[in-house]
Structure 1
Amino acid sequence: MTNPVGNRLFTLVEIPAVVGLLAMMVHTVANAFSRTVFGDPISGTLERVQYWYMPLVVLLGFVIAMHRGEHVWADMFFTRFPAAAKRYVAASASIVCAAVCILTVAYSFDHAQHNRDIELTAGLTDIAAWPLTYLVPITFALFAVQYVRLGWKQVHDKDIDDSGSTFAVSPESDQAADTEKAR
């Protein structure tokens, strides 16, 4: 059973991540070309990559990976519990992770507000760095929602395996579970 609304919403998350990755690649190659051929690099390339492209690609990439179930499962601890307790241990861990994400949202939003107030720039340049600091609370809010959904799924889903991969927050595809079982 797929969730078309959730998939469409996460397409909205994927688009800026892909655009950021492509822009970073084009900008970096153009800078290297300009430096090599003309002896004059594009000013602010390092700052734009560091303060704009990388946060966009990395933070949104984490959210996308969790949504697709393509993140790493560390199940050494999880496999030691009896089958009856696994779902509750996994759900409890998800709720703790959601709580940590919510605390991170509160802290990082306050930090982003401060960065906006002081008009944070990238290094010694005039390139504004403060707008992307709002991406941190947005990302961790999405993580919190994903972890709450994951906890709900862990308690109510009847299928359970030793790796915990059945509990991945993914668009209900069997491909992620098949990949985990093949490993």
Structure 2
Amino acid sequence: MILRLIRHIAMLLAALALISLFLMMLQTVVDVLADNLFGRPIPGNLEIISVYHMVLVVFLPLAFVEQKHENISVDLVYRSLPDGPRRWILVMGYLVTAAFLGLLAWQTWADAVRAYQLKEMMMGAVYVTIWPAKLALPIGFSAAILMVLANAYQAATDPAFDPSPASPEEADT
């Protein structure tokens, strides 16, 4: 039940990132057309893309990437170990990862709150309020923590748990 909820959260955040990616592409095309056809680009386009869209695209899908086991990992020694130690090293790795993500979530939350209190803005072609985009970081990190802890639980309790990403053939089905 809880794992299913965490997976839904991961999917929702990934979907929001995908929407942001689509909007970024659409905004860029409209900006180029407006500049080339009418000589009037969208004011603040670069700032909006870099402050909002790119941040959402990078940080919101962190839990989805973890769910799919697509994070970069080096497992040369890990794969040569027997199953028992391998499982507990995997669990410990997940717990260390969760602790690190927790620090990131805590610090980025503090930064987002401070930015909100200051009503932080970015000066460019136009003024862009940036504090709302800063919320994407602690949200993304927190969702990733939930997925990492779910993976740790599965690794500890399910002997058949495999942290390997799906092969391209399996991903298509």
Report TM bin, short chain. 0.7 to 0.9
Structure 2: 5+ residue stretches without partners: none
CA contact (8 A) 2:10 2:143 kept: no
Note the 1:26-45 alignment, pairs <5 A.
26-45=26-45
CA contact (8 A) 2:63 2:145 kept: no
Partner of 2:135: 134
Q: Distance in 1 between matches of 2:121 and 2:26?
A: 23
* 1:16 Cα offset (Å): 1.4
Partner of 2:93: 93
* Matched positions, count: 167
The root-mean-square deviation of aligned C-alpha atoms, in Å, is 2.2
Structure 1: 5+ residue stretches without partners: 161-165, 169-175
Using the TM superposition, name which of 30-39 and 9-18 deviates more.
Answer: 9-18
Q: Are residues 49 and 110 of structure 1, via their aligned partners in 2, closer, same or farther at CA, if it must alter by over 3 Å? A: same
Q: Distance in 2 between matches of 1:44 and 1:27?
A: 11
Using the TM superposition, name which of 99-108 and 46-55 deviates more.
Answer: 99-108
CA contact (8 A) 1:153 1:167 kept: no
Q: Are residues 48 and 149 of structure 1, via their aligned partners in 2, closer, same or farther at CA, if it must alter by over 3 Å? A: same
Q: Distance in 1 between matches of 2:94 and 2:169?
A: 19
What is the TM-score when the length of structure 2 is the normalising length?
0.85
Partner of 1:81: 81
* 1:178 Cα offset (Å): 4.3
CA contact (8 A) 2:105 2:141 kept: yes
| 1:121 counterpart letter in structure 2 | M
CA contact (8 A) 1:51 1:132 kept: yes
Q: Are residues 6 and 145 of structure 1, via their aligned partners in 2, closer, same or farther at CA, if it must alter by over 3 Å? A: closer
Q: Distance in 1 between matches of 2:5 and 2:111?
A: 32
SS in 2 for 1:26: helix
CA contact (8 A) 1:108 1:137 kept: yes
* 1:157 Cα offset (Å): 1.5
